[in-house]
Amino acid sequence: MDYDSRLELSFYSNISTINEAHRVYLVQHIETKKIYIKKILSVYNLSVYQRLKDRPVYGIPRIYCLHEENNELTVIEEYISGSTLEEILENSGAISETDTEKYLLELCDIVHKLHTETVPIIHRDIKPSNIIITSHGHVALIDLNAARPNTHKKEDTVLLGTKGYAAPEQYGFGSSDITADIYAIGMLINTMLCGKFLSEPISDSRFTPIIRRCTMLDPKERFRSVSELRSAILRNISTPSRTPAAATRRDFLPPGFRSGHPLHMLLATPVYLFLLWICLTLNIKDLTAGALWYTRILFLLMFFSAVACITNYLNIQSIMPLCRSSQKPVKLVGVLALTACLVAVLFFVMLLGVIVVFDYSIP
C-alpha cells in the first residue's frame, strides 16, 4: 500500500500554498491537469479517511489518494470552488434567515450521512471556516482531521475542536457522540444570524429555541439526531418571524444580490436590465401616456413577482402550503401555482386600472 500510494502521490505537483501553517496546498495532476487539494495531517483518524475514500459522501470533498508515513497522513482531495461561511460573514455581515435555513438544511443532510454510517462518523469541528458555499450556492463540509468514529468511549482522549463551537464533552467532560456535532450546528446558527460569534443565543429570532436546544450542556437534552434537528428547522420555516428585528437589510435586496456573491450579482444584473428594458419599451396602441406608464409598471411587477416566487424572496413561499413540502415535485407545483396566482392578480389589476381609471376600451 505504501509504495502504491507513494507512486500515486507523485503524480500531483504543487501549484501554490493555501495555508502553510496547516500544510494545505493546491496541486495539479501532471497527466489530467485537474486541480486538487493536498493536506499533510499530523492529527487524523485513518479509518475515517479510508471509509470516505471508499464510500464518498455528497457534500464532502471526494478523497482520491491517501499516503501514511512517519505518523503523518497526506490526503489528496477534491478542490471545491467557493467561499467559506467565515469569509462571507467577514465580507457581508449577518446572513439572512432565508439563506440560513437553506444552508442549514443542506448541512444537516451532509452530517446525517456521516452519522448514519455503519459506524457513525462525528465531524467534531463544524464551524464557519469549515463550511464552503459553492459558486452554485450549495454547502460543502470540509476538514475532517478532527473526525472520529463514534466508538462510545468513556471520554475523549484527544481534545480536538474549536473553542466556542466544540461541545463541553470534547474537552474531557465525557465522551463525544453525534450530539457534539448538533451542539456545533447550534453555535453556527447563532453566528450566521449575528454576523459574528456570540456565546449567547440571539434573542429576536425564531431560531432561538432551536439554538438553545442544540447547545444544552447536557447532551441528552439536545436534539437526539440531525434528522430531528432538520425537522425542527422545516417546522420553523413555516412559522412567521415574531419580531420585525429578525429581518436584516440584506433580506430586502433583489434576488441575486442578497448573498453578496460576485458571480450571483453578475448573472442577475443583465437579467434585471433585460426585464426593465422590455417593460420600458412596451407600447400598446391607443393608450394615453399615463395608462401606458401604468401598464409598464404593472408588467414590471409581474416579472418581479415571478422572480420573487421562484427565489423565495422574503420567504414569500411560506404563504402557499404546497411550497413547504419536503417533496420536490409537490414543492415545484406549489411554487408554480403561487407564481401563477400573483401574476394573474397583477394582470387583473392592470386591466381594471386601464379600463376604469384611464377609460380605455379593449378592441
pLDDT digits (tens, 9 = 90+) for 43-97: 899 999 999 999 999 999 999 999 999 899 999 999 999 999 999 999 888 898 8
State how far the Cα of 211 lies from the Cα of 188, in Å rounded to an integer.
9
Mean pLDDT across the stretch 192-204? 81
Q: Given a cut of 70, is residue 241 above it in pLDDT?
A: no
Other C-beta atoms closer than 10 Å to the C-beta of 47 total 13
How many CA atoms lie within 13 Å of 262's alpha carbon, on the beta-carbon side? 3
Q: Residue 242 has what pLDDT?
A: 44
Give the pLDDT band of residue 176 (cuts 50, 70, 90): confident
State how far the Cα of 200 lies from the Cα of 329, in Å rounded to an integer.
39
Task: Please give the model's pTM, rounded to 2 decimal places.
Answer: 0.64
Q: Which residue has the cell 496541486?
A: 27
Give the pLDDT band of residue 121 (cuts 50, 70, 90): very high
Mean pLDDT across the stretch 356-363? 56
Closest CA to 46 of 63, 23, 60: 63
Mean pLDDT across the stretch 5-18? 87
**In the chain, which ranges are E strands?**
12-19, 24-29, 35-41, 63-69, 72-78, 82-84, 121-122, 131-134, 139-141, 148-149
Give the pairing type, strands 35-41 and 72-78: antiparallel
CB-CB contact of 302 with 346 (8 Å): yes
Q: Which residue has the cell 501514511?
A: 68
Give the pLDDT band of residue 244 (cuts 50, 70, 90): very low
Q: Given a cut of 60, is residue 155 above it in pLDDT?
A: no
- Looking at this protein, which amino acid is placed at residue 146? A
Q: Residue 172 has what pLDDT?
A: 65
Three-state secondary-structure class, residue 205: coil
Q: Residue 230 has what pLDDT?
A: 94
Mean pLDDT across the stretch 288-317? 83
% the chain with pLDDT above 70: 85
CB-CB contact of 285 with 136 (8 Å): no
Give the pLDDT band of residue 240 (cuts 50, 70, 90): low
- Read off the DSSP letter of residue 201: P
Q: Given a cut of 80, is residue 5 above it in pLDDT?
A: no
